[in-house]
Amino acid sequence: MSIHEALLELADDHLVLGHRIGEWCGHAPMLEEDLAMPNMALDLIGSARTLYDHAGKLEGKGQSEDDLAYLRGEREYRNCLLVERPNEDFAHTMLRSLYFAAFMRPFWLKTLETSGDETVRGVAGKAEKEMAYHIRHAGEWVIRLGDGTEESAARMRDAVAALHIYTDELFESSPAAHEAEAAGMLPVRAEMRDAWDEVIGQVFAEAMLEAPDVPYPQTGGRKGLHGEGLGHLLAEMQSLHRAHPGATW
């Protein structure tokens, strides 16, 4: 196990969720969201690029950010299961974004305070501000839909039932993450729980939603165990690079 794998986990989270959100480009329910969604996707992909580049350098095998993003197979990805879940509808998409951003903002804030890695702190300094906006944007939509019409409220409740079972994996540290935590590069994931609970609790109270009990959380992404949706996503995302290996623009 090596520290660079902990950075790959973070990079994979951001790249996969960025691609999922980017799928709304041209399909969002209103023009403002058609502009906002790709910009939020680019926030995530921008963080992924720096993390992939840094991970490749730490590994020391000459792999570039493109190699790590486009030339690994499905089982080699280490993203959490939450970020790969299909968009389904706008309620699912906004709730998934809220769950992820509510974890990542305190994670990046803690990274700024404690990380001994200059590159990781640089990512955190930019990403923390982006996650604050993502929380506000997604949170407003969760409230708007949860406390809206009968139809929108039902869709948001369905989204909670479908996605909440994947949230515990956010707080689990893999062996690679434990190594990075012990080295002072990354904060302990479990320590973000209180901050996450506070944000989700506030939004759910206004959205008239209840967080369900989850006796059997769904995990496995950090071990490369994914749903078939990730394979379809990667096939689309990697198609151009694999069809024209080594091509440059």
249 in a domain, yes or no? no
pLDDT at 114: 96
The residue among 32 and 16 whose pLDDT is bigger is 16
What tokens were used for 92? Answer: 């699912």
Rounded Cα distance, 240 and 15, in Å: 16
User: Is the confidence at residue 29, as pLDDT, over 90?
Assistant: no
31 in a domain, yes or no? yes
248 in a domain, yes or no? no
The pLDDT confidence band at residue 27, using thresholds 50, 70 and 90, is confident
| Percent over 90 (pLDDT), the chain | 90
pLDDT at 143: 98
- State whether residue 207 is helix, strand or coil: helix
- When pLDDT is averaged across residues 73-79 and rounded to a whole number, the result is 96
Rounded Cα distance, 176 and 180, in Å: 6
pLDDT at 241: 86
Model pTM score: 0.96
152 in a domain, yes or no? yes
pLDDT at 173: 97
Contacts of 34 (CB under 8 A, 6+ apart): 24, 25, 26, 27, 28
Q: Give the other-Cβ count within 10 Å of 85's Cβ.
A: 23
pLDDT at 1: 56
- When pLDDT is averaged across residues 28-55 and rounded to a whole number, the result is 93
Please enumerate, as own/partner, the contacts of 207-212 that have beta carbons within 8 Å and a separation of 24 or more.
207/142, 207/143, 207/145, 207/146, 207/147, 207/156, 208/146, 208/147, 208/153, 209/142, 209/146, 209/156, 209/157, 209/160, 210/160, 211/160, 211/164, 212/160, 212/161, 212/164
Q: CA angle 144-25-78, nearest 5°?
A: 90
The pLDDT confidence band at residue 144, using thresholds 50, 70 and 90, is very high
109 in a domain, yes or no? yes
Domain of residue 58, residue span: 3-243
What's the distance, Cα to Cα, between the start and end of the chain in Å?
Answer: 35
User: Is the confidence at residue 246, as pLDDT, over 80?
Assistant: no
Give the dihedral sign, CA 65/40/238/228.
Answer: positive
Mean of the per-residue pLDDT values for the chain?
95
64 in a domain, yes or no? yes
Tens digit of pLDDT for each residue in 155-205? 999 999 999 999 999 999 999 999 999 999 999 999 999 999 999 999 999
Number of domains in the chain: 1
Question: 158 — phi, psi (to 5°)?
Answer: -65, -40
pLDDT at 245: 83
Q: Give the other-Cβ count within 10 Å of 69's Cβ.
A: 21
What tokens were used for 41? Answer: 């996707």
96: CATH: 1.20.1260.10
228 in a domain, yes or no? yes
pLDDT at 242: 86
Tens digit of pLDDT for each residue in 210-244? 999 999 999 999 999 999 999 999 999 999 888 88
Is there a contact between 166 and 85 (Cβ–Cβ < 8 Å)?
yes
10 in a domain, yes or no? yes
Rounded Cα distance, 135 and 117, in Å: 26
